Structure 1
Amino acid sequence: MAIYAIGDIQGCYDPLRRLLDAMRFDPATDTLWLVGDLINRGPQSVEVLRFVRSLGARAVAVLGNHDLTLLAVAAGHVKPKRKDTFHSILDAPDHEELLAWLRHRPLLHHDALLGFTMIHAGLPPQWDLALAQRCASAVEATLQGADCNAFLKEMFGSEPARWRDDLAGYDRLRFTVNALTRMRFCTADGKLSFSEKGAPGCQTLGLIPWFAVPGRRSADLNIVFGHWAALGYYRAAGIFALDSGCVWGNRLTAIRLDEAGIPAWSVPAVSSASALT
């Protein structure tokens, strides 16, 4: 009855299956935590969605920015970029069922007994777990409710860039999406920055990796996340970053959460050429 967490898959279905074989994953008893960005840019997005959906309660997947972008593209509010591979899903005969399943995924998953919290990208330094859960739940309810289409139209944009307790409406929802699915760096007072995607140490003066901000209120959590391929597989106190850039021809990484030492596995991408098709 193992519990594994896997980094950004992004349509890399073949490496996913090889990673599961390496871990000896048993779908009858084991559980997968997936940090989001199940789809896009890789060659087999629809296969990934179908497989994860078929696992039922054995898969816990949070939404990433690429997953949310698919929902907005499907709703007609965003045009896909040149390298996007959403078409394999949108052209599939079961696309409505897949989109509905995706729309009902959480943005944050917390297991108090296990002692781990999973998000796709980051947490603002002002947020503790309770506030993060409330903000995530509000977005989840909107995506699953009658206001979903209107919200998808208003979801994109980088403002507001700093958390305030009095944020409301779409501003509050948009900030939540940006924090949980897009952030990498922020300032010491929590202003989000989306312009830089490189590894820590290369950023503009004044920007800090979100998890390194002094006094952040989530420092007591064990946080599993992805989104940051330039950071790669990275572990520090309470921090487990799992996006090792499989879609860019690098590796797909997993850790086991319920075993002492948190062992890890990784497999290489099939090839850079196939991953970037």
Structure 2
Amino acid sequence: MATYVIGDLQGCLPQLIQLLEQINYHPEQDNLWFAGDLINRGPASLETLRFIKSLGNNATVVLGNHDLHLLAVAHGHGQLKRKDTLAEILTASDRDDLIHWLRQQPLCHYDSQLNAVMTHAGIPPCWDLDKTLALAKEVEDTLKSDSANDFFAAMYGNTPDTWQDNLTGTDRLRTITNYLTRMRFCDSASKLDLKSKEGVGTASEGYAPWFNYPTQVPEHCHIVFGHWAAIEGITQQARIHALDTGCVWGGSLTALRLEDRQRFSTPCTINRKNS
């Protein structure tokens, strides 16, 4: 039995099937974790979402920014962008079931036996593990509630850009969401720079990749995340594992076996330029 964490799919279902064949995935024995951004920009967003949902308890999912974007648009907030590939989901016969299922997924997953925690974008230096789980649950509970529509209406935005415990309302939920699904660069006080999206060496003055700062997550715990294709799966940190290797941009799809930290990758033939 093994647990594999798989980076951003973004609608690349054929590559996922190839990767599952490569790792010799057995549904009766193995578990799959998905680090968010299941859909969007790739050619098979609808079928990818259906496939992950069909895995049932074999799949553990955390939501990414593209997944939340779909939910917001489905609830009448936000607009489809030119490169989005979400229309097929929004017009599908099983749209309501898929949207409902997606709303039930968490923003953070922790397994004490595997000593691993997963979010889409990472964990900011100012949060420890317990705080991360508690704050993620605030957003998760909102997504499942009657207040979800109000959240989606206020979800987009880059402010507040620094965590404060006294944040309230939609500002609080937006900030939690931005840390867990959009973060790349921050400063030593965990102030976010949400505009810079390229590689490690492109940080604005005073900012660095979030994983370059000391983490408050316990030493025994590994952090797995996706979201940042430009760093090509490299953090230079022994227990912080980046798994978005840019499949949708013509890179590869990567899985990490948690039990021994071995990586597996399958190349992608999609030829797109990141934006």
Q: Which runs of 4+ in 1 moved over 2 A?
A: 218-221
Tell me which residue corresponds to 1:38: 38
Equivalent AA in structure 2 for residue 82 of structure 1: R
Query: Normalising by structure 2, what TM-score?
Result: 0.96
1:101-116 mapped onto 2 (5 Å cutoff): 101-116=101-116
Quick check: 22-31 or 229-238, which moved more? 229-238
Q: Distance in 2 between matches of 1:108 and 1:126?
A: 16
Cα deviation code 1:111-157 (max 9, x no counterpart)? 01110000000222110011111100000000000101111101111
Match of 2:188 in 1: 188
**Residue 250 (structure 2) aligns with:** 249
The structural deviation recorded for 1:263 is 1.1
Partner-residue secondary structure (3-state), 1:140: helix
Task: Give the equivalent residue in structure 1 for 2:130.
Answer: 130
The Cα of 1:91 is off from its aligned counterpart by 1.3
Q: Is the 8 A contact 2:157 2:174 kept in 1?
A: yes
CA–CA distance in structure 1, aligned partners of residues 36 and 104 of structure 2: 13
Deviations 1:32-60 (A, max 9, x none): 00000000000001111111111111000
Equivalent-residue separation in structure 2 for 1:266 and 1:146 (angstroms)? 40
Partner in structure 1 of residue 159 of structure 2? 159
Structure 2 Cα separation of the partners of residues 183 and 219 of structure 1: 20
Partner amino acid for 1:254?
A: A
**Sequence identity, in percent?**
49
Equivalents in 2 of 1:241, 1:272: separation in Å? Answer: 22
Paired residue for 2:90? 90
Q: TM-score normalised to the size of structure 1?
A: 0.95
Secondary structure of the residue aligned to 1:69 is: helix
| 1:184-208 alpha-carbon deviations (Å, 9 max, x no partner) | 0001111011111111112212111
CA offsets, 1:43-93, max 9 Å, x none?
A: 001111111111111000100000000001111111110000001111111
Q: What's the offset of the Cα at 1:28?
A: 2.0
Q: Which runs of 5+ in 1 are unaligned?
A: none
Counterparts of 1:104 and 1:29, CA distance in 2: 24
Q: How many residues matched? A: 272
What is the RMSD computed on CA atoms of the aligned residues?
1.3
Q: Which stretches in structure 2 are left out of the alignment for 5+ residues? A: none
Give the residue type in structure 2 aligned to 1:162.
Answer: T
The residue identity in structure 2 corresponding to 1:108 is: C
2: CA distance, partners of 1:189 / 1:106: 26
